[in-house]
A = this chain, B = another copy of it.
């Protein structure tokens, strides 16, 4: 039974309900406003290989496919790339030995990665710190054992093998142990090329201090700037989790040339679910780039109780990671989300030409007045900055 004030765990996504109950004569209008249109039509379904569909049934994960088109151009061929995104539960109990937990998540995510490869994905992104439970709520430092080298760690190596096998770029977000800098811990996305080589890495720019997101207990703000990775299949960037709340983080990745910005995340319903459909999509619109929001799924329970800074009793779970991973396009259209309760793989064909076409149409990049903002920020960062306030003189 679902409550009428909106239970967090009792339904499997807004789209299913809209499709089920809105009459056909209204559904198009509702979806046009809520999900936009791509080249004048609803975002199209992608025909998926029956063998891949069968794997998703046998292995019990959500599988969805969509296509974003662009207009044909006269002087440039279309540039369609198939992008994959994976959301997954932590499959093993957090009470098991760490080696067993790692083996379980490697098995499950390895299976999902191989399905993406078999489904033809050329760029694949996993969720934030996928090899470990999102244990930062506990503030217990033993979880740091899971941190691994961005160059030689076992989860990175798993992704390198898969990248080589499928000729697929893989973004592998991990908890990084930086032994070259005195065992510094980072929240990092490793970008692996389609030949299995490591192209580079990006470290999370913005670190939360809210709710159970005690990440600032574990690692600091990243020191890698806003890199864009030029891969065989497109120029991509990674805005890790909480960075999606910072419009400038998305923006600077796009200003550096990203055409797809991935947002591997781990976020829970009570805090952020109404924001989830807004932020990545706004970033796609504002910046003329595809934005890919990927959220963890399921409820993780930890061995020892902890409090959440909200005055409520100690407990052992983080709340429900609501999945709902989706892709937003620069023209304002978006896909439905993956399921709220199940592992999932989404395959999305996107014509990257849509990025420049949208920029040419809207012209945000030329009407942005960057000089004005450069000047503003120089002044604002001074401790004695005086805000531009005009007070009603009659008061």
Which residues of A line the B interface, CB within 8 A?
A: 1-7, 10-11, 14, 17-18, 21-37, 41-42, 191, 193-195, 197, 199-200, 205-210, 221, 225-232, 235, 242, 245-248, 251-252, 255-257, 272-275, 277-279, 281-282, 285-286, 332-333, 361-364, 366-374, 376-378, 380-381, 387-395
State the copy count for this chain: 2
Complex: chain B residue closest to A225, CB-CB: B388
Residues of B within 8 A of A24 (CB): 4
| Complex: A25 Cα to B377 Cα, angstroms | 48
Known: A369-B221, A378-B378. A231 touches B392 (CB 8 A): yes
Complex: chain B residue closest to A322, CB-CB: B33
Q: Give the contacting residue for A389; candidates B257, B273, B371; CB below 8 A.
A: B257
Q: Give the contacting residue for A388; candidates B226, B273, B392; CB below 8 A.
A: B226
Complex: chain B residue closest to A209, CB-CB: B363
Most chain B beta-carbon neighbours within 10 Å: one of A29, A235, A373: A29
Structural contact, A387 and B279, CB atoms closer than 8 A: no
Complex: chain B residue closest to A4, CB-CB: B28
Known: A274-B36, A369-B221, A390-B227. A247 touches B247 (CB 8 A): yes
Structural contact, B232 and A395, CB atoms closer than 8 A: yes
In whole Å, how far is A63's beta carbon from the nearest beta carbon of chain B? 22
A-B CB proximity, top 6 nearest: A6-B32, A36-B274, A247-B247, A374-B377, A282-B282, A6-B28
Residues of B within 8 A of A248 (CB): 247-248, 251, 368, 373
Q: What are 6 A-B contacts defined by CB distance under 8 Å?
A: A10-B29, A205-B372, A226-B376, A228-B389, A232-B392, A272-B332
Residues of B within 8 A of A252 (CB): 373, 376
In whole Å, how far is A122's beta carbon from the nearest beta carbon of chain B? 13
| Complex: A41 Cα to B5 Cα, angstroms | 7
In whole Å, how far is A175's beta carbon from the nearest beta carbon of chain B? 19
| Complex: A1 Cα to B235 Cα, angstroms | 44
Complex: chain B residue closest to A333, CB-CB: B274
Structural contact, A33 and B274, CB atoms closer than 8 A: yes
Structural contact, B367 and A374, CB atoms closer than 8 A: no
| Complex: A345 Cα to B309 Cα, angstroms | 40
Q: Give the contacting residue for A378; candidates B206, B362, B374; CB below 8 A.
A: B374
Known: A281-B278, A387-B256. A29 touches B7 (CB 8 A): yes
Structural contact, A28 and B14, CB atoms closer than 8 A: no
Q: Give the contacting residue for A274; candidates B21, B256, B332, B364; CB below 8 A.
A: B332
| Complex: A255 Cα to B42 Cα, angstroms | 37
Known: A227-B389, A373-B248, A392-B197. A367 touches B285 (CB 8 A): no
